[in-house]
Structure 1
Amino acid sequence: MDFTAEKKESENNSANNPENAHQTLDSSSPQLASALDSSSKETEERQSRELKAGLHPLKNKFVFWYTRRTPGVRNQTSYEDNIKKIVEFSTVEGFWVCYCHLARPASLPSPTDLHLFKEGIRPLWEDSANCNGGKWIIRFKKVVSGRFWEDLVLALVGDQLDYGDNICGAVLSIRFNEDILSVWNRNASDHQAVMALRDSIKRHLKLPHSYVMEYKPHDASLRDNSSYRNTWLRG
């Protein structure tokens, strides 16, 4: 979906902000199949309501989160406490309303994380949607990170990346000497999906050949308590 033409007409619309719970179910259970059917039905009903209201529904509902934390070793409890939900949206109009009011990366202090995740998925390694997955990591100089972050956000919200159903969300990590973009996926063991996501990210960001992408499973992050060190794969 192309968002550029929709920006102006979004200025008079506002985004909703209800809380939503995420239910953990075994992947082989009948309950999961029932939950997926229910989720699909709810999505169809939501999109139907938004179309009737003259809006442009997105395929997925998204949530922006914000983390401002003290530098040092990651502590799970304190990290979860520091994650703040900013706003959620499910239409093109709702996206532009909230995005136009978000602070730009260049104005954010270090260390800060901006998270954009599908509704029902928390930006945590331990979340049931993330725990078997991992993330592609790209490091940027601070002067260019804002542009690449915006391009990534538009591709994610517009469902333009390959294997979109396997994507959980994206993170921009503001650090002292660089900024880091990461795209999280559900299944680190699906090599085809992992590599297709890498190629799709490169294509949509028009990533110069000099940039190196690194991949790290979340279970490895849990073991070494690090988001971006000791990556497993470079491409």
Structure 2
Amino acid sequence: MSKPTLRTTGLDSVSEDSAADLTPTRKTLHQNILGKLRPLPLQYRWAVWYEKHSESSSANFDDRLYLLYEDIADIATFYRVYNNYPWEKVKLRDTVHIFRKGTKPIWEDPENVNGGCWTFRVPKAKSQSFFHEIAILCLANEFQAALEAEHDHVLGISTSVRFNSDVISVWNKSGSNPKAIKALEDTIIQRLSPDLRPPSDRSYFYKRHDEHEGFKEAVETAEAKKKEEGKGAE
């Protein structure tokens, strides 16, 4: 099955100063100098995943989830991946995830199983800019800082292609912590550029993973698979 692929071998580093321009351009002398400096590491390491849509919620994730880039440790690496990703080739209802390294973008992952996400339906004209800003806020720890006092964690973000809009989500670890959920909402809305902010709360919502159809089955399947693997290792 075909899917967008990442090709980053031999690419120059892209500085944060040039991040807003998604189209690769000839770099200035200043940018070239910045590109040679060692970038500061991010607080957390991140991975990029591609998920193919399936009509069945119980479809095996091993057949539809692909790890595209396993270790984003600094902002230069993020832009090297992001600016060279073939976004226009992401197929209808397929999804790109950026998640903390070691956490899969699935409900049944131990880090996600008790969590949920804020989901925004964003018009096509603004969706790429919206996701770009959400990604930077996430990787720069802006969302996590807002949740520290509530003992919660932001685990990743997703963007999924639809007909006239894209669906963009921010995943958190605790789906039963109303203060953290509200703090995350406020931070997302306040930190987005004014022209990207949702026109009303009717265009976005929060939902726990266990409220989704197929959640229980997914968790039970994952637990059964873990037991089988445990028996095989004995």
Confirm or deny a common fold (TM above 0.5): yes
Q: Secondary structure at the match of 1:163?
A: helix
Q: Structure 2 CA distance, aligned partners of 1:75 and 1:137? A: 21
Q: Structure 2 CA distance, aligned partners of 1:9 and 1:158? A: 22
Q: Deviations over 1:113-157 (max 9, x none)?
A: 010100111000000000001001111122211110111011111
Q: Are 2:178 and 1:191 aligned? A: yes
Percent identical across equivalent pairs? Answer: 26
Distance change (3 Å), C-alpha of 1:184 and 1:91: same
**Would you say the 8 A contact 2:115–2:208 is kept in 1?**
yes
Q: Cα offset for 1:179?
A: 0.9
Q: Structure 2 CA distance, aligned partners of 1:136 and 1:69? A: 20
Aligned residue in 2 for 1:147: 129
Q: Structure 1 CA distance, aligned partners of 2:99 and 2:164? A: 25
Aligned residue in 2 for 1:63: 47
- TM-score scaled to structure 2, two decimals? 0.69
Q: Secondary structure at the match of 2:103?
A: coil
Q: Cα offset for 1:183?
A: 0.6
Q: Quick one: which of 5, 21, 30 aligns to 2:17? A: 5
Distance change (3 Å), C-alpha of 1:62 and 1:9: farther
Q: Quick one: which of 58, 75, 80 aligns to 1:97? A: 80
Q: Structure 2 CA distance, aligned partners of 1:11 and 1:98? A: 17
Q: Secondary structure at the match of 2:212?
A: helix
**Consecutive unaligned residues in structure 1, runs of 5 or more:** 14-52, 226-235
Q: Cα offset for 1:12?
A: 6.1
Q: Cα offset for 1:74?
A: 1.8
The alignment yields a C-alpha RMSD, in angstroms, of 2.5
Matches within 5 A, 1:54-203: 54-70=38-54, 72-77=55-60, 79-87=61-69, 88-104=71-87, 106-161=88-143, 162-163=146-147, 166-203=153-190
Q: Structure 2 CA distance, aligned partners of 1:177 and 1:66? A: 21
Q: Structure 1 CA distance, aligned partners of 2:183 and 2:101? A: 23
Aligned residue in 2 for 1:210: 200
Q: Deviations over 1:177-226 (max 9, x none)?
A: 3210111000011111110001111112241433532111011115578x
Q: Secondary structure at the match of 1:69?
A: coil
Q: Secondary structure at the match of 2:138?
A: helix
Q: Deviations over 1:88-120 (max 9, x none)?
A: 21012211211121122x442202101010011
Q: Secondary structure at the match of 1:148?
A: helix
